[in-house]
Structure 1
Amino acid sequence: MFDVDREAITDGPVGRVLVLLAAPLVAQNLVYVANALVDTFWLGRVSEDAVAAVGLSLPIQSLLGATVVVAAVGTQILVAQRAGGEDDAGARRVAVNGALLALAVTGAIAIPVVAYAEGLVRLLGADPALAGTTATYLAIIVAVLPFGAVSDTVENCFTAYGDTRAVLHVSLTSVLVNLVAAPVLIFGVGPVPALGVAGAALGTVIAGVVGLAHVLAYAAGIGRDTFRLTREAFAVDRSVVREIADVGLPLGGQRGVSELVRVLVVGLVTIAGGSAGIAAYTVGARVSTLAIVPALGMQQAIQSMIGQNLGANAPRRARRTTVVGTGIVVTGFLALGAVQFVFAGAIADFLAPDLTAAGRSLSVLYLRILAVTYWALGGTYTLLAGFNGASRTRTSFVADLVKYWAIRFPIAIAAVPAAATFGAFGVAVTPGLGWGVEAAFWAVAVSNVVGFLGLGAYFAYTTRRGMFSNAAERAVEGESADPTDG
């Protein structure tokens, strides 16, 4: 039903092809987020501190995710361009070197993070009891980060070829494993002891390892034939590694600058709102992660479709792909936000029924604040896909630098009391305005809207100046990076 061949990607109806490509990716991302929500769902039945412990680790995990993006998304963009030009051997070579780059980069980061997990958590200002629990969860998750990076990179190669169902199959396998493993390990069943927060992390790890085995089996040709790694592709090619890094590093930087701000905002929320504030922020972060899944799926579909069309020298179709995809997402997210606004209380009660009254009140407020800006958040992902697909990944970096550092963080500082000492990294904040934790919530909303409007204006400007035409010329010539892009 959702099969899309290369001819349709470069010549079929744009809206229909995008939906067909994105649908399995949306489902896959829903499964992925559901996998993450499993922890919050079960730990919400343990205690508010258990939910807060996981929430405190999320920004650090996301910051580390910037290293995964470098290889995973850089590989996807280049594989799509080679697939569009019918260079299958080149696509396989990119895939292998992308996976090796993912393993090397994330391995170098994971080792020190695992060794100093508790110290990192304490820098966020957590109290000693919460820091110990959070560090245990973080260390277990990060220990297998390199395997997850390889899995993501190989999955993105299937996406680049238009086989988005393969990625969905892998994610379904992972979440089914975690649905069983998480409650067993958290609460204990039979001979298995109750491990609490550590059990939640172990369930996630087991699910990830199973997912990696599944996607590697597909890449070996077991049960799938759309994208296959051959023995000839297994050779280190430094020029290909550099090419992947040229495209991927700005995206990793983009992810890094945004996630670092999220880490700092968590520190501000800890000071201004305590455990109730952190629990509310965690609930909001988990739900918004679920809410943006359609935009993430569309973003991945747009990047692959643009890459193949540029490889086929069809720049106008590449531009139309971005415009149509953005229109679909903005319209859908207006409706999604309305639903969340109305049912915010029910959502908070479902995810964390044991919240205190203060925690629940703040959770409902944050969910409603997020809901009114979902359209802008979703549209940002699809506009960035247009730049990324054209290999203008530095634009994504600059856009997030402005959105998070020039808009979100300065507003969030207003949450803390005047002359307070900011717990994250011991940075002194002088002066805060004492507006309370709600200011941190509004900082997220304002930055989402301003970021989308600014990026939309820049997209219109660059397309008038021939962004996609230039990118098509480079793709046809075998080049992937624009040295003048900034």
Structure 2
Amino acid sequence: MEDSALNQHTSTVTPGSLRELTNVAVPLVLSCGSLSIMHVVDRIFLTWWSTDAVAAALPAGMIQWTIMSIAMGKAMYVNTFVAQYEGANQRQRVSESVWQGVYLALIWGGLLLLGVPFAGTFFHWIGHTPEVQTLEAEYFSILCLGSGPALLSTVLSCFYTGRSQTMVVMWVNLVSVLVNMLLDYWLIFGVGPIPALGIRGAAIATVAANVVTLLLYLFIILAKHEARLYGLFNHWQFNRELFVRLIRYGFPNGLLYFIDIIGFTLFIVLVGRIGKIELAATTIAFNLNSLAFVPMMGVGTAVMTLVGKRIGEGRPQLAVRTTWKAFAASAAYMLLFAVIYIGFPDLLLRPYEPDIITEDFLKVKQAAVILLRFAALFSFFDALVVVFGSAIRGAGDTRFCMFFSLLTGWAVMVIPTFLIWMYADADEKLFGSWVACTSYISIMGIGYLIRFQAGRWKEMRVIEDHFAEPNPEDSEQPMQGALT
């Protein structure tokens, strides 16, 4: 009866329709949007605490994410396996895929703890100001403790996102964000018997939120009937063939995240070597841009899920229609934020103002206003990157994404930024660095669009070939009715 009820619920939505995309994407957008608000609030609190703290948070957080990114990319790619097996109606393989992701998360979560003892030496080598170095090492070390719970939570979330059950993920993330924001304030500034911990408090709040997220997923999986329906507790055995296939497709996806993040991390590090003001302004600009970009990641996950499901069903042309609908909505959304960045920068920067306006903050604010114009310029191309990059990865085209990101990231952003830092005049270094960053995002977006239009991804899949036979009902008119 549970099986038929589930099928009846999912059959009410027309595959490839705007309603299907909305049902899957909106909870993920709200979920990712709540995460972006959490990061903005975190940075606002740290700005109130000290300029050094907010300057240290972005590079330390990005370096921790860089180290974790390969494992996180693999964990997130469980979503594609779940989606394609779900489309092929192979529920046992759905459960087996989740378990292989769990084993991968446990292994990598343990390995990531090995970086904690070297934090002080590493940030000393980077060469930021001594007071910022100390805060970076503290923030990084504590964040590493939450890597394991974060990876496990990501894998468990794929059991729901891959099956288009995204409301579960939304509610879990909303609770986690609320916990993080409350703990952020209490631990950064101190409340009652809780001492003020500054940037250490922000890191502890993040780790605690990761643990809460993991516990919530475990509770929901144990309480809801889907675990029994999919035999989740009966197919926990290690499956070497499936594990290797997850590595085969997930590793390029993880390396893509690593290449992308390390490129931006090196960009942040080089900007930080220009000066503390430039680093703080860049931190705030990226932080505000996350209000637009991070919710877009929810659209990307939805596109990846629906493309994967259509590949599993043998209907790739429906995936084309869904992708173009997602891009139309995303482009309009990002262009709206572009208008806000250009038209209302003072309003956006007002929450970052400390109680006592210092000369340093006025310099940071002046620079951040200029950087928000760059964010407005590359916001449209961000939509191209997220939507079309997610679409081809949802089919299994991860190696192209990896190599293309590596080539463009270093050739267009990292190396030019290094040369600008070495040889440009002092007053041109920040502007030139952001020109390189904007060029990188623009080229990435155009490249993913061209790859999507070429259509090679339509013949790709991560599941066994006999599970995804071509569907004769699939239309060969990719653009007809794409936006309706």
TM over 0.5, shorter chain: yes
Which string of whole-angstrom CA distances, capped at 9 and with x for unpartnered residues, describes residues 94-122 of structure 1?
A: 101111101212321x2221111112222
Shift of 1:227: 7.6
Which string of whole-angstrom CA distances, capped at 9 and with x for unpartnered residues, describes residues 344-382 of structure 1?
A: 222122235455221111111111111121010122111
Give the distance between the partners of 1:473 and 1:164, measured in 2 at CA: 22
Number of the residue aligned with 1:285: 286
- Are residue 191 (structure 1) and residue 193 (structure 2) matched? yes
Number of the residue aligned with 2:334: 333
Structure 1 pair 66–472 and aligned structure 2 pair: CA distance change class (3 A) = closer
Give the distance between the partners of 1:140 and 1:306, measured in 2 at CA: 37
Number of the residue aligned with 1:69: 72
Number of the residue aligned with 1:348: 349
Amino acid at match of 2:216: H
* Counterpart pick for 1:29 among 12, 27, 32: 32
- Are residue 377 (structure 1) and residue 382 (structure 2) matched? yes
Number of the residue aligned with 1:215: 217
Q: Is the 8 A contact 1:312 1:476 kept in 2?
A: no
* Counterpart pick for 1:467 among 423, 435, 457: 457
* Counterpart pick for 1:12 among 9, 12, 15: 15
Number of the residue aligned with 1:386: 391
Number of the residue aligned with 1:265: 267
Number of the residue aligned with 1:428: none
SS in structure 1 of the partner of residue 238 of structure 2: coil
Give the distance between the partners of 1:189 and 1:288, measured in 2 at CA: 30
Give the distance between the partners of 2:418 and 2:74, measured in 1 at CA: 33
Give the distance between the partners of 1:226 and 1:292, measured in 2 at CA: 36
Q: Is the 8 A contact 2:28 2:298 kept in 1?
A: yes
Give the distance between the partners of 1:97 and 1:225, measured in 2 at CA: 16
118-127 vs 348-357, which deviates more? 348-357
Structure 1 pair 8–379 and aligned structure 2 pair: CA distance change class (3 A) = farther
- Are residue 452 (structure 1) and residue 445 (structure 2) matched? yes
Unaligned runs of 5+ in 1: 419-431, 481-486
Which string of whole-angstrom CA distances, capped at 9 and with x for unpartnered residues, describes residues 225-272 of structure 1?
A: 798663212211111111111111001111111212222212221222
Aligned 1:358-437 pairs, distance under 5 A: 358-418=363-423, 432=424, 435-437=428-430
Shift of 1:133: 1.3
Give the distance between the partners of 1:138 and 1:294, measured in 2 at CA: 25
Amino acid at match of 2:303: I
Which string of whole-angstrom CA distances, capped at 9 and with x for unpartnered residues, describes residues 304-335 of structure 1?
A: 11111111111211222222222221222112
Give the distance between the partners of 2:370 and 2:450, measured in 1 at CA: 31
Give the distance between the partners of 1:75 and 1:188, measured in 2 at CA: 39
Number of the residue aligned with 1:297: 298
Which string of whole-angstrom CA distances, capped at 9 and with x for unpartnered residues, describes residues 261-317 of structure 1?
A: 222212221222x11111011111212222113321111011111111111111211
Q: How many residues align?
A: 458
344-353 vs 287-296, which deviates more? 344-353
Number of the residue aligned with 1:133: 135
Give the distance between the partners of 1:474 and 1:181, measured in 2 at CA: 42
Structure 1 pair 116–439 and aligned structure 2 pair: CA distance change class (3 A) = same
Structure 1 pair 437–114 and aligned structure 2 pair: CA distance change class (3 A) = same
Shift of 1:467: 3.0
Which string of whole-angstrom CA distances, capped at 9 and with x for unpartnered residues, describes residues 207-233 of structure 1?
A: 111111001111223487798663212
Shift of 1:13: 4.5
Structure 1 pair 253–227 and aligned structure 2 pair: CA distance change class (3 A) = farther
Q: Is the 8 A contact 2:35 2:177 kept in 1?
A: yes
Shift of 1:4: 10
Shift of 1:433: 6.0
| TM-score w.r.t. length of structure 2 | 0.89
Number of the residue aligned with 1:236: 238
Give the distance between the partners of 2:464 and 2:285, measured in 1 at CA: 40
Number of the residue aligned with 1:160: 162
Which string of whole-angstrom CA distances, capped at 9 and with x for unpartnered residues, describes residues 173-202 of structure 1?
A: 111111221111111112111111111111
Q: Is the 8 A contact 2:384 2:448 kept in 1?
A: no
SS in structure 2 of the partner of residue 307 of structure 1: helix
Q: Is the 8 A contact 2:227 2:233 kept in 1?
A: no
Structure 1 pair 414–364 and aligned structure 2 pair: CA distance change class (3 A) = farther
Shift of 1:40: 0.6
Number of the residue aligned with 1:275: 276
Number of the residue aligned with 1:116: 118
Amino acid at match of 1:21: V
Q: Is the 8 A contact 1:81 1:308 kept in 2?
A: yes
Structure 1 pair 352–278 and aligned structure 2 pair: CA distance change class (3 A) = farther
Shift of 1:395: 1.7
Give the distance between the partners of 1:156 and 1:293, measured in 2 at CA: 18
SS in structure 2 of the partner of residue 437 of structure 1: helix
Q: Is the 8 A contact 1:296 1:381 kept in 2?
A: yes
Give the distance between the partners of 1:402 and 1:238, measured in 2 at CA: 32
Amino acid at match of 1:261: G
Give the distance between the partners of 1:98 and 1:247, measured in 2 at CA: 12
